[in-house]
Amino acid sequence: MASLPETGWHWDVFRGLGVSAKVILLGMDGANPDLLLRWSEEGLLPTLRSLRERGTTCRLDGPPGCGDDGAWATAYTGVWPSAHGRFYYRRLQAGSYDLPPFGDDDLRHEPVWNTLSRAGRRVAVVDVPKSPLPRSLNGVYLGDWLVHGRTHPTPVSYPVDFASETIARFGAAPESLCHFTQPALDAASYEAMLQRLEGATRMKRDMCLSVLESEPWDLFFAAFKESHCAGHHGWHLHDTNHPEHSPGIAAVTGDPLLRAYRAIDAALADLIAAAGADTTVLAFSVLGMGPNYGLSQLLPRILARLDPEHRPLLSSVRRMAKPLGSWLYRATGDRTRKLVASAAGAIGSKYRTGQPVFAIEPSEHVAGIRLNLAGREPRGRIRPGADSEAYCRRLTADLMEIVDPESGERLVEDVVPIRELYSGPAIDCLPDLLVFWNLSRAFQAAASPRIGVITLRGDVRRTGAHMPGGVLFAAGPGIARSGFLPARPLVDLAPTVGALLGVRLDDSEGTALQGTLPGGTTGFSG
C-alpha cells in the first residue's frame, strides 16, 4: 500500500473495511505497577484483568536513575540511555556547560516504528511521550497533543496536516496542571481537574478509534498521559498516609489515581475491541509513581557547602534570580518566556563553568552529579583518572553522612558511579554519579558536620513522583497463556514488537520475549 501524502490526511480512507491491526501497543504513562496489578486482580480494571486471564503479565525493569524521559526513550528504541543518549529532559553534552532541552535530533537511536516502517510495515503512532517527529514514515505520527510535558510547543505530526486536522476534529488539549509545582486547589478545583483528565482520555479514545478504523495497520501504538498527571497532583489524595492527605477533599473527588486508571482501562477496552480478535495486545507502563519524598532540589546547595572552591556570590545571584525567573515564565507570553529561558540558561551555564561539580535532576527519586572534568568540559576543574576517582570517593563519603536533623536518619541511600550501571557510546551524555535518596517519608531538612543544616524552601512540590519499574500485560495470537512471569528489562519491549511483526531489530540491546514469532505460532513464554 502506498504511503500517505505529505499533506491532506483523510479520516474516511479505508473506513469500514473491518481489517484490524496485527499489534496494538498501549502505554499508560506514569501508572504505578503495583496499583495496576492490584486493581486488575480486584476487578476494578476489567480490561487489564482480561489480558491477565488470557495472556501473560510481567514487571518491566527500567533504566536506573531515569525519570520518564529516559524510560520512554528506552522503551521505544530497545537500547539503554548510554546508547540513545536521553537521560532526562535536558541534554548533557561533552564540551559545553549548557543544558538545553533535549530535542528530536539529539536522540542517538531511532524508534522501533522507524525500523518497522522501512521494512514495509504500516504504523500509526499517537502521543508516545518524549518521542521524535519522524521525517518520513510508512504511516502516521502524532506527537505532543494530549501528553504530559511537551517536547514541541504545539502538536506535531507526519503528515504535516495530521495534527491540525486532529485538533479541528477532536479538540485542543484541556488544561491538565502537569507542572513541576503543586497548585493550591480546593475540592471543586481538584474535581474539575479530574473531569478534564477523564475528558482527555475520551478524546484520545475517539481519535484512536478513528485511526484504527481507517486502514489495516501492522502496528498501532498510543499512550495515555492521564495516569501521569493524576499521580503527580493527586498522590496525596490517594495515599492516606501522605502528610498532605486531605480526607475532606478525597471524600469529594474519590481516589484520583483510580479514577484516571479506570478511565484509561475503559478506553483500552474500546481500542482492543476495534483492533479485533486477531490482534496481539501489549498494554504497559514504563515506570510508576509514588510519594514525592526525594530531596533532589537540595543537592545544588549541598554541593555548594561541601566544596571550598565553590563560587558563593554567583550561587547567591542564581538562587535569588530563580524564583523571579519562574514567576516571569509562568506569568508572561511566549516571547518573554524565551527571553527568560535564555537568560536563565546563560546564568546557569556561567555558574556551572566555575564549579568542580554541579547537580542535575533526572528524576525526583534520584539526583545526578556531573563532574567538571578536564578534557571533557571546556574549563574542567578535575583531572580524569586518579584525581577524579579520589574526588568521587570523598564526595560520596560526605553525602553518605547527611542525615535528617530531627531523627538522625540517613538521607542518602547510595551514591553510584554511572559506569557501574551503564556502558555505551553515549555514556558522556549521562551524569557521572547518581544520588539515591531515602524515600521512606517526607523530610524537610538535611544536615551534616560539613554542610550544617539546609531546609527545603520555595514552591510546594508535586505530591507524586516517578518511581522505577513498570509492568506489561500481553494477550492475543502471539501470546501464550503463561500467567505471571519473571521481570524483564524494558529494552525487551521494542524487539518483542519487532518479532511479532517479523522484523528483527539487529542493534537492540534487548531480547524478544521467547516465542514471539510472526503470527504467534509458538506462543509467548519467559
Per-residue pLDDT tens over the stretch 24-77:
999 999 999 999 999 999 999 999 999 999 999 999 999 999 989 999 999 999
pLDDT digits (tens, 9 = 90+) for 277-319: 999 999 999 999 999 999 998 999 999 999 866 555 444 444 5
How many angstroms separate the CA atoms of 339 and 141, rounded?
31
Q: What is the rounded CA–CA span in Å between residue 498 and residue 78?
A: 10
Q: Which of 158, 165, 164, 152 is nearest to 134 (CA)?
A: 158
- The residue type found at 42 is E
C-alpha 492, offset from chain centre: 17
Higher pLDDT, 274 or 514: 274
pLDDT at position 400 is 98
One-letter amino acid identity for 207?
M
Question: Other CB atoms closer than 10 Å to residue 183's CB: what's the count?
Answer: 13
Binned at pLDDT 50, 70 and 90, residue 346 comes out as low
**DSSP-based three-state secondary structure for 418:** helix
**Least confident segment among 276-285, 463-472, 506-515:** 506-515
- Determine the pLDDT at residue 414: 97
Nearest one of 369, 323, 360, 362 to 344, comparing CA atoms: 323
* Plot region of 290 (φ>0 → left; ψ -120 to 50 → alpha; else → beta): beta
Residues 30, 18: Cα–Cα separation, whole Å: 33
Q: 406: which 3 cell numbers?
A: 530531627
Task: Answer yes or no: is pLDDT of 520 > 50.
Answer: no
* CA-to-CA dists, residue 130 to 67, 150, 198, 516, angstroms: 11, 7, 22, 27
Report the distance separating Cα 123 and Cα 469, nearest Å.
Answer: 27
Please name the amino acid found at residue 394: R
> Sign (positive/negative) of CA torsion 521, 61, 34, 263?
negative
For residue 122, is it left (φ>0), alpha (ψ between -120 and 50) or beta?
A: beta
Q: What is the pLDDT of residue 31?
A: 98
Tell me, yes or no, if the pTM score tops 0.95.
no
SS (H, E, C) 102-170: CCHHHCCCCCHHHHHHHCCCCEEEECCCCCCCCCCCCEEEEECCCCCCCCCCCCEEECCHHHHHHHHHH
pLDDT tier at 349, thresholds 50, 70, 90:
low
In Å, how far from its chain's centre is CA 191? 25
C-alpha cell at 148: 504530559
**Secondary structure of 205-229 in the HEC alphabet?**
HHHHHHHHHHCCCCEEEEEECHHHH
Q: What sign for the dihedral angle of Cα 418, 422, 427, 431?
A: negative
326: pLDDT confidence band, cut at 50, 70 and 90?
A: low
How far apart CA 395 and CA 434 sit, in angstroms, is 12
Neighbours of 105 (CB within 10 A): 8
pLDDT of amino acid 189:
93
| 500-516: average pLDDT | 86
Asked if pLDDT for residue 335 goes beyond 90, the answer is no
CB 252 within 8 A of CB 244: no
The secondary element (H helix, E strand) that includes residue 396 is helix 386-400
Which pLDDT does position 511 carry in this prediction?
Answer: 92
Pairing type for strands 366-371 and 433-437 reads antiparallel
Residue 507 one-letter amino acid: D
Q: Give CA–CA dist 311/295, Å, rounded.
A: 22
The predicted pLDDT at position 310 comes to 55
Task: Give 384's contacts (C-beta < 8 A, 6+ positions apart).
Answer: 373, 374, 375, 376
Q: How far apart are CA 60 and CA 494, in angstroms?
A: 12
- b/e sequence 311-337, b meaning 16+ C-beta within 10 Å: beebbeebeeeeeebbebeeeeeeeee
Helices (H), 43-110: 46-54, 68-77, 81-84
The per-residue pLDDT for 323 is 52
